[in-house]
Amino acid sequence: MTAARRLTVRRESFPIRGSFRISRGAKTVAEVVVAEVEQDGVRGRGECVPYARYGESVAGVAEVLEGLAGEVAAGLDRRRLAELVPPGAARNALDCALWDLEAKLSGVPVWQLAGLPQAPGPLITCYTLSVDEPAAMAAAARERAPRHPLLKMKLTGEGDLERVRAVRAAAPQARLVVDANEGWTVELLRRFAPAFAELGVEMIEQPLPAGQDEALRGIACPLPLGADESCHGLDSLERLAGLYQVVNVKLDKTGGLTEALAMTRAAEAAGFDVMVGCMVATSLAMAPAVLVGQGARFVDLDGPLLLAQDRDPGLVYDGAVLQPPARELWG
């Protein structure tokens, strides 16, 4: 019989360094929800970012989690959690907390519990440049490129070619990927993609609004297209085939590590390349995604680098090199 477990739900805020701007708007604070499950004096934690784009709020996600306290006390496991809560932020926080708790109670790290072939190694993560005027984005690229060889540019529509040209001139050796966050039309994609290919861009993420994906069918794009807002759980993959070449796996969309690992395997088997991404959040949210990032074509786990202050202890970043999490943090 499982010993009694207690669920604690906390809402926390972490100021962002400056502001984080994408095509939909800007934010200056990362609002997160933490689920903590305690058993026999041992605590497992998971963090999520409720996202308004997907109909979530901090209050709503916290309410869903608090409503699961009785189930947790009765021994809720990850399989039952997936039956009770749909993919999204709430399931993510509790799924990751249950993985962390099991690892700490058993003394077996999560990568072994999950059946992964080897311990996670360091990753090279993107560094994200908020959308801004070309000169400002160029200045940010010039500052970051010496220690961050892979830059991810947030774009928005008109003026994006000037933005990419400015960043390429400022960081001629950097690898570049771009993310329109649903801000383009098919006409902009046709106009920008050939020029971006000449500028050495490696991938265009979410050019069109989710729901308009079918317009991509048959377009001869010279660059791989990545699905983010269009890609959530396992049931997304069949619909995206033939439209995108890369899928962005985020734990806040899949509903935690459990489905993220399954989705990564399924995506690779279906011929997609994988990007592992994140919301702007602390190291506690990034830590489980480090396992998903092993072998991914693109890794975008720079959330803590965008904060004015991270958790302590947090993940260790040496420029773009992200080390696996210490046991004290997660897993």
Q: Determine the 3-state secondary structure of 173 from DSSP.
A: coil
49 and 146 co-located in one domain: no
- Spatial contact of 50 and 60, defined as CB atoms under 8 Å apart: yes
1-39 confidence digits (pLDDT tens): 457 899 999 999 999 998 888 877 878 999 999 999 999
Whether residues 91 and 129 fall in one domain: no
Domain extent at residue 58: 6-107
Beginning with the edge strand found earlier in the chain, give each strand of the sheet holding 150-154 in spatial order: 127-129, 150-154, 175-179, 201-205, 225-227, 246-249, 273-276, 298-299
Find the mean pLDDT for residues 267-289.
97
Residues 144 and 21 in one domain: no
Q: Is residue 118 part of a domain?
A: no
Q: Are residues 99 and 130 in the same domain?
A: no
103 in the same domain as 133: no
**Which pLDDT tens digit goes with each residue over 204-237?**
999 999 999 999 999 999 999 999 999 998 999 9
Which residue, of 107, 137, 163, is where some domain finishes? Answer: 107
Confirm or deny that 228 is annotated as ligand binding. yes
- Tokens, residue 259: 């489905």
Residue 327 lies in a domain: no
44 and 179: one domain? no
Position 330 in a domain: no
CATH code assigned at 91: 3.30.390.10
How much is the pTM? 0.95
Specify the pLDDT at position 308: 97
For residue 290, being part of any structural domain is answered with yes
Residue 179 known to bind ligand: yes
- The CATH number of residue 251's host domain is 3.20.20.120
Q: Do 215 and 170 belong to one domain?
A: yes
Cβ pair 312, 305 in contact under 8 A: no
205 is in an annotated binding site: yes
Residues designated as active site: 154, 250
